[in-house]
Structure 1
Amino acid sequence: MAKILIVLFPDPVGGYPPNYARTGLPEITAYPNGDTLPTPKALGFTPGTLLGCVSGNLGLKDWLEAEGHTVVVTSDKNGPDSVFERELPDADIVISQPFWPAYLTADLIEKAKKLKLVVTAGIGSDHTDLNAANAKGITVAEVTYSNSIGVAEHTVMQVLVLVRDFVAQHRLSVAGAWNIADAVTRSYDLEGMRVGVFAAGRIGRAVMERLAPFDVKLSYTDRFRLPGEYEEKLGLEYKESIHELVKDIDVLCVHAPLTDETRGLLNDELLGTMKRGAYIVNPARGAIADRDAIVRALDSGQLAGYAGDVWEPQPAPADHPWRSMVHNAMTPHTSGATLSGQARYAAGTREILESWFEGTEIRPEYVITQGGRYSGTGAHSYADEPENDGKNS
């Protein structure tokens, strides 16, 4: 039997919801690229309910305990006195979400002598030191594509919020004001703007497909160039590097994984090469941006706006400058945590656990590291010499 340590975000301040705004979820039978949705043998939860918090427990606790496993579910994850760090040394499996990540550093992995499997309920496993996981032969898996479309939708929303200057206009409305001149002095149409997409994986492609009908001029950069027929269909212009991409665009959408290459990439130097008054939407990882460089660019007017829902660290401290910087449209890390997305990544997490306990193969698209090396999606997104499987996340 295994000990499973599950780190989830806290319950709502007012308590676990007794009811919801909507009943049930629309039926989705496949992902846009044809991949099937998670197919666990059972769910253990009602789709459309709050699953990513402690009381929701991803619908896993009753099932796992009925199978004889020991389950610890907590939101207390930071510091040596946290439940997470106290329970980690004898845990066999750790599960957490990118929105409330259990940071598995190399030091903590060294202390976790029994750890064999790390599961990200969602997409993005950079809160685990993947090199250390490989060194220990730990399998790292995530529920690829489970919330990709949700993140893409959130990205498009934030692009429009910035360009139209929605936040300022909404605040005027709430305050009882009606000064239209004040409301529109920073408001523009998205139509005709140049939008650049950094990394054209599942999310980046979904963003481009959703922005194309706005009659924008789309360009992108990625480690792998997309097929010519796809570029032609969306009118895409390929750029060899992020440095080439940002030179003449009005909006930058960031969808790259956090790696040594991308950490701190959006710095003073790169921002200084962008068109004055450009916008950035970053739903990828907060650490891809230099925190203070973003603030300086907004203060100087080099950037007209910055939005995203990823921070460094997470949760962000109350005094994080992105909370109060000018012309921001930040959200907590919620883009992939809709009730719709939670149903998919909870189901995918259970599918991964079922495969693990049965000794059968975990879907390759879910695998990040396995057997001491990057594998599956990890071989494409995180390896120094990535494999081109055409399905990067």
Structure 2
Amino acid sequence: MPGKQLSVVVTRRLPEAVETRMTELFNVTLREGDKPLTRTELAEAMQGADVLVPTITDPIDAALLAQAGDKLKLIANFGAGIDHIDVATARQRGILVSNTPGVVTEDTADMTMALILSVSRRIPEGLALMQAGNWEGWAPTAMLGGRIGGRRLGILGMGRIGQAVARRAKAFGMQIHYHNRKRLRPEIEDELEATYWESLDQMVARIDVLSINCPHTPSTFHLMNARRLKLLKPSAVIVNTSRGEVIDENALTRMLRAGEIAGAGLDVYQRGGEINPRLRELPNCVLLPHMGSATHECRMEMGEKVIINIKTFDDGHRPPDLVVPGML
């Protein structure tokens, strides 16, 4: 749309450098505070903008898209996950959707390993003991956890992040197993020394640590349901840095409470920011506030991708990170 600046609405506060660059390039409406827009505010933003820059905290469904103005032609999502956007309906209405893939890979994989170590070695319990001033000194049987070297890691979802987790886990001496919609190419399997399981049930029954690294789609909702969770060994640990909806959280909570699963490390939750209070009470459950990709570097790179997607669109070309329904 050469000749006039695009009208761009940003739904959350972004890094200052990103906001400044956007202001230089486009006619941008930025957020003053940092609370998510209400549904009404989101609808208003979509009625007046050429481009909307939402985040995972902005559920954009078919009903909301029906209220979008004729101007809205691009939803440039700040984030890789797009399960909060009805992409198919957007495309039907002539609205393109882009995202920011790739830049969250390394940081999310780091956090996955941090959670595996935190749960296996009981790091939060040790921290709480020290902060409460209750430590009475070293003892041979105190705060015993489990060694991760030699353990079998099962990765559910072997995309960019799953492979990055595999590389890290291999360096820690873990044995890599995985289940994926498609088997990896032989050279990647060889590099990762990874064993492919066509049957998720068979893999789950044999591993010591399960890492969830698949996106949330209709086919992955509650993929780890009560029946499948019961296949895990009682000594197993489950870690999720992907999407909370992949696990039946109520079933997981019951099994953790009953000691049927040894521990869990969660960075994402089935109901977004609404955390099951029973999960918070469990000493064998490490909970983080969706901070898997929360590094300065990642947020800047996400912002740069958003700007490139908008600028490319403004120049009359296809955004490089265009999401099409067939990808989902």
Same fold (TM over 0.5): yes
Displacement, 1:148? 0.7
- Judged with a 3 Å threshold, the aligned counterparts in structure 2 of structure 1 residues 241 and 141 are, in CA distance, closer, same or farther, namely farther
Distance in 1, matches of 2:271 and 2:163, equals 27
Q: Residue in 1 aligned with 2:228?
A: 270
Q: For the Cα contact (< 8 Å) 1:248–1:275, is it kept in 2? A: yes
Query: Does 2:115 correspond to 1:158?
Result: yes
CA offset at residue 204 of structure 1? 0.3
CA gap of 1:67–1:212, structure 2 versus 1, over 3 A, is closer
Report if aligned partners of 2:221, 2:246 keep a CA contact under 8 Å in 1.
yes
Alignment of 1:148-187 (within 5 A): 148-176=105-133, 177-178=135-136, 180=138, 184-187=142-145
Pick the aligned partner of 1:368 from 315, 323, 327: 323
Per the alignment, residue 196 of structure 1 pairs with 154
Partner of residue 102, structure 1: 58
Residues 170 and 192 of structure 2 are in contact (CA less than 8 Å); yes or no, is this contact kept in structure 1?
yes
Selected match of 2:9 from 5, 19, 40: 5
After TM superposition, give the deviation of residue 63 of structure 1 in Å: 4.3
Contact 2:247 2:270 in 1 (8 A): no
SS in 1 for 2:291: coil
Cα deviation code 1:322-362 (max 9, x no counterpart) = 33344111111111121111111111111111101111232
Correspondence for 1:306 among 252, 264, 281: 264
- 1:212 positional shift: 0.3
Say if 2:76 is the partner of 1:119: yes
Of 88, 92, 104 in structure 2, the residue corresponding to residue 147 of structure 1 is: 104
Q: Secondary structure at the match of 1:4?
A: strand
Shift of 1:210: 0.6
2:18 corresponds to: 59
Query: Which residue number in structure 2 is paired with residue 71 of structure 1?
Result: 29
> What is the identity, as a one-letter code, of the residue corresponding to 1:332?
P
Offset at residue 305 of structure 1 (A):
1.2
Instruction: Provide the identity percentage.
Output: 25
Instruction: Summarize the Cα distance change of 1:95–1:324 in structure 2 as closer, same or farther, 3 Å threshold.
Output: farther
Residues 319-330 of structure 1: pairs in structure 2 closer than 5 A:
320-330=277-287
Corresponding position of 2:88 = 131
Q: Displacement, 1:229?
A: 2.6
- Change in 2 beyond 3 A, CA 1:340/1:296: same
Q: Secondary structure at the match of 1:244?
A: helix
Distance 1:65 1:231, change over 3 A: closer
Quick check: 1:77–1:84 contact (8 Å CA) kept in 2?
no
Q: How far apart, CA to CA, are the structure 2 residues paired with 1:76 and 1:84?
A: 12
Report the CA distance between 1:59 and its aligned residue.
1.8
Give the residue type in structure 1 aligned to 2:49: A
**Whole-angstrom CA distance in 1 between matches of 2:215 and 2:199:** 15
Can you list the C-alpha shifts for 1:111-150, whole angstroms capped at 9, x where unaligned? 1133321122221111111222232232111111111100
Q: Aligned equivalents of 2:277 and 2:105: distance in 1?
A: 27
Q: Kindly tell me: are residues 59 and 84 of structure 1, through their superposed partners in 2, closer, same or farther at Cα, counting changes over 3 Å?
A: same
Separation in 1, partners of 2:140, 2:288: 24
The Cα shift of 1:65 comes to 4.3
Distance 1:251 1:241 in 2: 17
Q: d(CA) in 2 for partners of 1:241 and 1:3?
A: 49
2: CA distance between counterparts of 1:90 and 1:194?
52
Cα 1:322–1:3 change in 2 (3 A) is farther
In structure 2, the CA distance between the partners of 1:183 and 1:148, relative to structure 1 (3 Å rule), is: farther
Partners of 2:243 and 2:26 in 1: CA distance = 37
Taking structure 1 as reference, are residues 138 and 242 closer, same or farther at Cα in structure 2, changes over 3 Å only? farther
Distance in 2, matches of 1:64 and 1:345, equals 13
Equivalent positions of 1:212-361 (< 5 A) are: 212-314=170-272, 316-317=273-274, 320-361=277-318
The superposition leaves residues 286-323 of structure 1 with CA deviations (integer Å, 9 ceiling, x where unpaired) of 11111211111101112111112112333x13665433
Contact preservation (8 Å) 1:76, 1:84: no
CA drift of 1:213 comes to 1.6
Cα deviation, 1:86-111, whole Å, max 9, x if unaligned, reads 3333332221233xx21101111111
User: 278-287 vs 183-192, which deviates more?
Assistant: 183-192
Could you report, residue by residue, the CA deviation over 1:129-183 in whole angstroms, capped at 9, with x for unpaired residues? Answer: 1222232232111111111100001101110111111111111121221355598
Alignment: residue pair count:
321
CA–CA separation in structure 2 for the residues paired with 1:186 and 1:86: 55
Please state whether the residue corresponding to 1:125 is helix, strand or coil.
coil
1:237 deviates by: 0.9
Counterparts of 1:250 and 1:169, CA distance in 2: 22
TM-score, structure 2 length as denominator?
0.90
1:136–1:232 distance in 2 versus 1, CA, 3 Å: same
